[in-house]
Amino acid sequence: MAMDWYDAYGRKVSTVALKNEQGGPSMRGVRRPDALHPAAGLTPGRLAQMLRNSIDGTPEDYLALAEDMEERDLHYGSVIQTRKLQVAGLEITVEAAGDDPKSVEHADLVRAVIERDEFEIELRDILDATGKGFSCTEIIWDTSERQWMPKRLCWNDPRWFEFDRTDGETPMLRGDDGPEPLKPYGWIYHSFKAKSGLPIRGGLARGATWSFLFKSFTQKDWAIFCEAYGQPLRLGKYGPGATDDDKDVLLQAVANIGTDYAAIVPASMAVEFVKADVTGSHSLHEDRADWLDRQVSKHVLGQTSTTDAQKGSYAVGSVHDRVRDDIEKADAKALAATLNRDLVRPLVSLNYGPQKSYPKIKIGRPDEEDVDKLVENVARLVPLGLKVGMATMRDKLGLPDPGNDEELLQSSPPAPPQAKDGKTQSDQMIANEDPPSDPAALSARGSRRGDAIDETADALSRDWEPLIGPIVAGLDREIAEATSLEEVRTILRRRLEGLSSDALGEELARAVFAARLSGEADEELA
């Protein structure tokens, strides 16, 4: 008995229908590839009507206008392209649903699809929804190798689609016999929501249409201004006896001066050039166009510091990326969710059957981490008992797992750190009354063999301090000031008068015993 498959929307999947392309243009049908140009002669009334019609179920003119805007308005086309390219160029990773071999195999299949050279270009087509609110990309399946693999992801013109009249959200393909639903497992439908509401109202183009309209008026006025005031007024003068033919000759001459920069007139006529005083007026159009561009930059990129020239723009722009970070992350998560639903799930289900859980595509920048600080902390804490996996550290450092036949780098154990007087840290620990609190010193001391014996020797050495401390304190200075050998002997006799010979003998015996015991232990360990 054949197994029934259902997509994420609960629709039954037909593998027979998947082998045939559903969308695509048709010269004799309603999905014509020829372009419309509603931006030509656009007025506020026409624009308002287009926006209303798009909500009422006929969005073709509005979608054609959104396409026109990307071609006609260089600023809008630039910022919308920047937003799409930045997300399409982010790092893509695939996480397996589990550690079992089957889950790893499913993830490897998804990686084989996203590692195709053309996948980034296909992502840009899917991100066409950024401006228009939605995009429908058909999956053209290839089953020649007895495996379901996407041959290509085919972008379809948004003008070929409309939304279900009941809910206003379900995309329908326009056909000769009326709208038809998209076949399950055959389409990647990406909905972009700059705001909550219907998908047709979620694209960035909708908010930018009015700026586009007002900027087009400003550019036309600017062109007229430049044509009218860019050249001085050419004033022709004729005498009282001039005939109509003479006047026509003079008018033609004045017109030719503006185009050919050459003309001839009778001697009885004159041509004057009157320069209009329009100082400062030319900046009005430029300032208005720049202001509208800044509004579009904020609308699309969330900031203006990397797109619009302004005072201090370099210092401010260094803080921002080309697209604001929170906007980039939101776009990346939305795109990943669409791919997991409409690409990963069909790919795995068609090849391995329905699964309880599927691999997940993740899109975004890797977490920035101070690698030097990480290595320093790990090197400091591992000797104190911290357990860190080698695979984890290789992932953090961006290093691949070594191959079986690959030569491995190794390091010898570090030598005990030297103090300025040439003694090792262990020697200083024995000489000092209190043990050092430095973790590295404690680690070095703790790693020596025969720790119990060493601690006993340390304790014995500290017992010498009360006996010989008063004797040796300042002794070198007094001897240095002595002028004869007899005077040195007097100094030593005076200092040794209070010393107990019994206590000194006992400490010497204990020291000899500790030294012999430590030597025998080291010999056995060696």
User: How much is the pLDDT for 499?
Assistant: 65
Rounded Cα–Cα distance for residues 24 and 380 (Å): 62
304 three-state secondary structure: coil
Is the distance from CB of 100 to CB of 106 less than 8 angstroms?
Answer: no
Query: Which of 355, 342, 333, 334 is closest to 106 using CA atoms?
Result: 355
From the number of C-beta atoms within 10 Å of its C-beta (0-12, 13-18, 19+), residue 62 rates as: buried
For residues 112 and 242, state if they share a domain: no
SS3 306: coil
Asked whether residue 338 carries a pLDDT value surpassing 80, the answer given is: yes
Q: Is the pLDDT of residue 142 over 60?
A: yes
Residues 460 and 500 in one domain: yes
Higher pLDDT pick, 485 / 428: 485
DSSP 111-137: HHHHTSTTHHHHHHHHTTHHHHSEEEE
Query: What's the average model confidence in pLDDT over 512-526?
Result: 59
Tokens of 100: 């079992």
**37-51, 143-157, 474-488: lowest mean pLDDT where?**
474-488
For residue 49, is it within any domain?
A: yes
Residues 459 and 485 reside in one and the same domain: yes
- pLDDT, residue 176, reads 86
Express each pLDDT in 391-434 by its tens digit. 677 767 767 767 677 777 666 555 555 555 555 555 554 445 45
Contact of 152 with 122, CB cutoff 8 Å = yes
pLDDT given for residue 135 in this prediction: 96
Contacts 24+ apart (CB under 8 A), 102-108: 102/352, 103/357, 103/359, 105/352, 106/348, 106/352, 106/355, 106/358, 106/359, 107/359
Domain assignment of residue 16, yes or no: no
Residue 122 forms part of a structural domain:
yes
Is 348 found in the same domain as 251? no
Whole-number average pLDDT of the chain: 79
Q: Measure the CA–CA gap between 193 and 201, rounded to whole angstroms.
A: 8
Largest Cα separation within the chain, whole Å, is 149
In the structure, what pLDDT confidence band is assigned to residue 14 with cuts at 50, 70 and 90?
A: confident
Beta-sheet pairing, 171-173 with 161-163: antiparallel
Q: Choose one of 344, 367, 390: the last residue of a domain.
A: 367
Shared-domain flag, residues 247 and 352: no
For 230-245, what is the mean pLDDT?
A: 74
CA distance 321 to 302: 10
Rounded distance between C-alpha atoms, residue 126 and residue 119, angstroms = 10
Euclidean distance between CA atoms 383 and 378, whole angstroms:
9
Work out the percent of the chain whose per-residue pLDDT is above 90.
39
Do 238 and 227 lie in one domain? The reply is: no
Burial of 450 (0-12, 13-18, 19+ CB in 10 A): middle
Who wins on pLDDT, 449 or 129?
129
Mean pLDDT of 326-340: 94
Residue type, 332: A
pLDDT of residue 237: 78
Band of pLDDT at residue 458, cut at 50, 70 and 90: low
Give the three-class secondary structure for 26: coil
Higher pLDDT pick, 14 / 339? 339
Q: Is residue 161 part of a domain?
A: no
Question: Percent of the chain at pLDDT above 70?
Answer: 70
Let me know if 179 is exposed, middle or buried by CB neighbors in 10 A (0-12, 13-18, 19+). Answer: middle
Sign of the four-CA dihedral 199, 202, 207, 212: negative
Rounded to whole angstroms, how far apart are CA atoms 368 and 485? 73
Task: Give the pLDDT confidence of 294-324 residue by residue, as tens digits.
Answer: 999 999 998 877 666 554 455 454 444 567 8
Please write down the long-range contacts of 467-470, taking CB distance under 8 Å and 24 or more positions apart.
Answer: 467/499, 467/503, 467/504, 467/507, 470/495, 470/498
**Are 342 and 463 in the same domain?**
no
pLDDT of residue 413: 55
Are 223 and 237 part of one and the same domain? no
Asked if pLDDT for residue 158 goes beyond 60, the answer is yes
E strands, 179-301, in order:
180-181, 187-191, 233-237, 270-274
pLDDT at 488: 76
Q: Are residues 223 and 249 in the same domain?
A: no
Whether 467 maps to a domain, the answer reads yes
The region of weakest confidence among 77-91, 223-237, 350-364 is: 223-237
On the question of pLDDT at 52 being above 90, the answer is: yes
| Domain annotation covers residue 31 | no
Give the pLDDT band of residue 182 (cuts 50, 70, 90): very high
Q: How confident is the model at residue 341 (pLDDT cuts 50, 70, 90)?
A: very high
Higher pLDDT, 496 or 420: 496
Question: Left, alpha or beta for 483 (phi > 0: left; psi -120 to 50: alpha)?
Answer: alpha
The contacts of residue 398 (CB under 8 Å, 6+ apart) are none
In a domain, 337, yes or no: yes
End residue of a domain, out of 350, 367, 384: 367
- Provide the domain count of the chain: 3
The range of the structural domain enclosing residue 93 comes to 44-133+195-231+284-367
Radius of gyration of the chain (CA): 43
Same domain, 346 and 237: no
* Distance (Å, whole) CA 149 – CA 349: 12
Q: Is 291 in the same domain as 310?
A: yes
Domain boundary among 273, 299, 331: 273
Token readout for 97 is 């649903």
CA angle, 359 as apex, 353 and 362 as ends, to 5°?
150
On whether residue 190 sits in a domain, the answer given is: no
This prediction's pTM: 0.64
- Say what the pLDDT of residue 449 is: 44
Backbone phi and psi for residue 172, each to the nearest 5 degrees, phi listed first: -130, 140
Q: What is the pLDDT of residue 442?
A: 45
Residue 494 pLDDT level (bands cut at 50, 70, 90): confident
